[in-house]
Amino acid sequence: MDVILVRDYEEMSARAAEIVIAALRQKPDAVLGLATGSSPEGLYARLIDAHTNDGLDFAPVVTFNLDEYVGLGPDHPQSYRAFMNDRLFDHINVKPQNTHVPDGLAQPLRAHCAAYEEAIRQAGGIDLQVLGIGRDGHIGFNEPGTSLGSRTHVAALAPETIEDNARYFAGPEEVPRFAVTMGIASILDARRCILLAGGAGKAEAVAAAIEGPLTSQVPASALQMHPDTVAIVDEAAAARLRRADFYRWQDRNRSQILDRL
């Protein structure tokens, strides 16, 4: 895993945007895997700016979101479809039919999960997957204990996740208890992953994911097996990393390393 340590949220978002924009310049019809929550909002703002001011074209792009709450339809203000429309899709020229978010109202859900996996395969697989990380080390809604071989499935939300997401609702009691989520194996199929982590509350999870053992109890640690993952971590979230000095040295010398490839 390539680790980039940055000062703050703004620099984290800027570095992530550089990677995504470069990927779209290289492959205009790229398939993007997208995440919700506070971590990627700054990235999305920069993608909107690149479209508005620099002509970045999203017309050929296809997107697949990681997850959606079970029981929330696309018109619900706290659904992840509504989040993506508000934070990104409504402000760029991506074709609505090319944006995919799991359907929280689908029945039966098991068949919908299988169909979502098939849709990703039919699109040629995900070229670049954006990820956040939960306080308990989850990616998507793959909570601790989720099989590392899991595919898109219905997941129960852990109490920590419900507590963290309550700020988007009237209170914890309003947060759905289940979600449809890409599985860990689904995420690892992406050709490249970007993991975004900011804030002191993520420090323990970041250290466990990057430097701890590979374990289903820290789902994000599965990214250690991925051949092309970059973790962009701000200073607060990096507080427990033992090899922080090496990651900083590596980033400072990145251009020299790339020149030799």
Which residue intervals of the chain are DSSP H helices? 9-26, 41-54, 80-87, 109-122, 159-165, 184-188, 203-211, 244-252, 254-259
**Catalytic site residue 163?**
no
Instruction: Judge contact between 153 and 181, C-beta under 8 A.
Output: yes
4 closest CA partner among 257, 261, 259, 177:
257
Find the catalytic residue in 68, 117, 136, 234: 136
Find the catalytic residue in 112, 138, 153, 226: 138
**Catalytic site residue 136?**
yes
Find the catalytic residue in 51, 67, 164, 226: 67
Please compute Rg for the chain using Cα positions.
Answer: 17
Instruction: Judge contact between 68 and 101, C-beta under 8 A.
Output: yes
| Pairing, β 67-69 against β 178-181 | antiparallel
The HSE-up count of residue 131 (CA atoms within 13 Å, CB side) is: 35
Instruction: Judge contact between 243 and 213, C-beta under 8 A.
Output: no
| Pairing, β 229-234 against β 192-197 | parallel
**Catalytic site residue 143?**
yes
Find the catalytic residue in 117, 127, 143, 164: 143
Catalytic positions, written as ranges: 67, 136, 138, 143
